[in-house]
Amino acid sequence: MGNCCDCGFVSGGPNEVLVKSGCCEPEPFKVAGGRVWVWACCQRIQRLQLNTMTLVVRSEHVYSKYGVPITVTGIAQEIYQDRKKFAKAVFEVASSDFVQMGITVVSYTLKDIRDEEGYLKALGMTRTAQVKKDARIGEAEARKDAGEREARAEEQRLASKFMNEVEIAKAQRDFQLKQAAYDREVYTAKAQSELAYDLQAAKAKQRIREESIQIKVIERAQNIQVQEQEINKGHNGGRSSCSSYSEAEQMMKKADAWKEYQDAAMTDMVLDMLPKVAAEIAAPLATVKKITMVSSVNEDAPETCIINAVIRQLCGALM
């Protein structure tokens, strides 16, 4: 790759080496990326490129150590199991060989491996099957884990739902209990108010009846006195008949009895008037169909027993 030049300087690029040879040069003079003086017709310049060159090394039907013929773009030893180790070994061997030829190997890449006999494919089938098996196992385990997590999530959801329903039921129960307690207090106060009114009315009527009985007792006592006076007058005048005298005598005895036993007489008259008084007291309750007693105290309490006894007596009087 030489050429003849005119006299003068010859310049080279940064990616090339100028090699000067000829007259006055026992050995070629090399200048990399610079310039050199050249005499015309007695010296010449050659240019050598410093660019990186890609060399494709192809070996056909190279037998491996197991006796299998393979075709490799490069040189292979145990390339299937350990490509890095193979590439490193080839790089070391090739570098020393190429250096002797003046070529420096910058890098070495194993590009392609082919096997017409199917040996490499057979070696890969076992690994491929193992990988597929591991993939199927992993997929099955993933589905199992997903199912378990889904079941646990559903269980937690149902547990939360049931706990919420229990809390709602407790809240409803507490509300109903409080409402029942409030209603009981209201009904109790209302019943006490109505009963107090009825008791006051009954007491007022009872006082009126007692006053009426007292008046009748006084009137009867006065009548007895009048009859005694008339008897006395008839006895003095001799105009009374035997029957009148006997009646007057009975009245006098009765008057004496009233005087001596006034308390007993009063009790007798009260007992005589008591049915009428009870009828008057029970008259407002004649239209009552049902009486509900609401109490938060013990049923055996004295006040409860008294109220129950009064109610039973009033109901008996109505019947």
pLDDT tens digits along 233-282: 766 555 545 555 566 667 677 666 655 555 565 666 666 666 676 666 66
pLDDT in tens, 6-35: 677 888 878 788 888 877 777 778 788 778
User: What percent of the chain stands above pLDDT 70?
Assistant: 53
Dihedral over Cα of 113, 115, 121, 124: its sign: negative
**pLDDT value, residue 131:** 85
Give the confidence band of 128 by pLDDT, cuts at 50, 70, 90: confident
**pLDDT value, residue 209:** 81
184 in Cβ contact with 296 (< 8 Å): yes
Give mean pLDDT, residues 112-123: 66
pLDDT in tens, 84-114: 766 677 677 777 777 777 677 777 666 666 6
Cα–Cα distance, 173 to 210 (Å, whole number): 53
Cα–Cα distance, 310 to 22 (Å, whole number): 155
Structure tokens at 200: 């006051």
213 in Cβ contact with 240 (< 8 Å): no
Q: What's the mean pLDDT when you consider all of the chain?
A: 72
Domains and CATH numbers, the chain: 2-49 (no CATH), 59-117 (3.30.479.30), 183-318 (no CATH)
Cα–Cα distance, 21 to 45 (Å, whole number): 7
Residue 179 has pLDDT above 80, yes or no: yes
Cα–Cα distance, 51 to 29 (Å, whole number): 20
**pLDDT value, residue 4:** 45
- Those residues whose C-beta lies under 8 Å from the C-beta of residue 209, and which sit 6 or more positions away, are 273, 276, 277, 280
Location of structure tokens 């190279």 = 62
pLDDT in tens, 36-69: 888 777 888 888 777 766 666 665 555 455 554 5
Overall size of the chain counted in residues:
319
**pLDDT value, residue 167:** 92
151 phi and psi, to 5 degrees?
Answer: -65, -45
57 in Cβ contact with 87 (< 8 Å): no
Cα–Cα distance, 102 to 30 (Å, whole number): 14
Burial class (CB in 10 A: 0-12, 13-18, 19+), 161: exposed
Residue 302 has pLDDT above 60, yes or no: no
User: What percent of the chain stands above pLDDT 90?
Assistant: 9
Cα–Cα distance, 90 to 83 (Å, whole number): 10
Residue 77 has pLDDT above 60, yes or no: no
Q: Give 114's strand partners.
A: 71
